Amino acid sequence: MQNRMMITGAGSGLGREIALRWAREGWQLALSDVSEPGLQETLKQVREVGGEGFVQRCDVRDYSQLTAFAQACEVKLGGIDVIVNNAGVASGGFFAELSLEDWDWQIAINLMGVVKGCKAFLPLLEKSKGRIINIASMAALMQGPAMSNYNVAKAGVVALSESLLVELRQQEVGVHVVCPSFFQTNLLDSFRGPTPAMKAQVGKLLESSPISAADIADYIYQRVAEGEFMILPHEQGRMAWALKQKNPQLLYDEMASMADKMRAKAQATKG
């Protein structure tokens, strides 16, 4: 380990906070995002806390941009030790309302972006015996109503991470998957869905969270150091996951009831 980390979606939110948390430990950072102003701001903050690194614009939908980013890491840092596949977008809406384009967009970024990130950087990680940190969501485990395309994409990230965990053990490449619940972030900037009401509901959940992106980054740092595979930063998330494992039907009934309430609220708003 030479303390070199790559982060996608590093221009804001959790990606930026992960960069800052590792920067405080003196890591060299390779930062990517589709927002160049966001990347420059993250790099500035990274340097302020004693870290160093470089930025490169990268759209995770484009595999050639990710392989070019991996080459840049090899040239500028001599390799990479940890990759964080964090880039993601939000969406919501009941299944009947979501278009197939909504599905394609969600899967292309939130699932295939992670697949392509792992694929592009695996040769470097095999050399360094490094680690993969994939950012999924509690939506991958809980499947809340009115976000089926998001749930499916994030569940795919968990399944991919589980697959890599067992496949890469022999190569001594570590794997972690992070499933945060709602937290204070700018995820809504990228939100896509059929109804403004859905965006408003998600916004309230994000704002009401007592936990910040910086708190989550710190929790991830600690748990990765301990070698934990599935990292659930929210206490409520850990409780919900334990409940689902013990009594899944109870959770499904609760989610169905939540869906009814959301539909009623949407109808009232229209009326």
Catalytically active residues are 150
Contact in structure between 58 and 65 (CB atoms under 8 Å): yes
Contact in structure between 134 and 176 (CB atoms under 8 Å): yes
How far, in Å, CA of 50 to CA of 65, rounded?
28
Which run of H or of E encompasses 30?
strand 28-33
Among 258, 4, 257, CA closest to 125: 4
How far, in Å, CA of 21 to CA of 223, rounded?
13
The pair of structure tokens assigned to 49 is 């806390």
Contact in structure between 174 and 159 (CB atoms under 8 Å): no
How far, in Å, CA of 261 to CA of 48, rounded?
46
The pair of structure tokens assigned to 16 is 């930026």
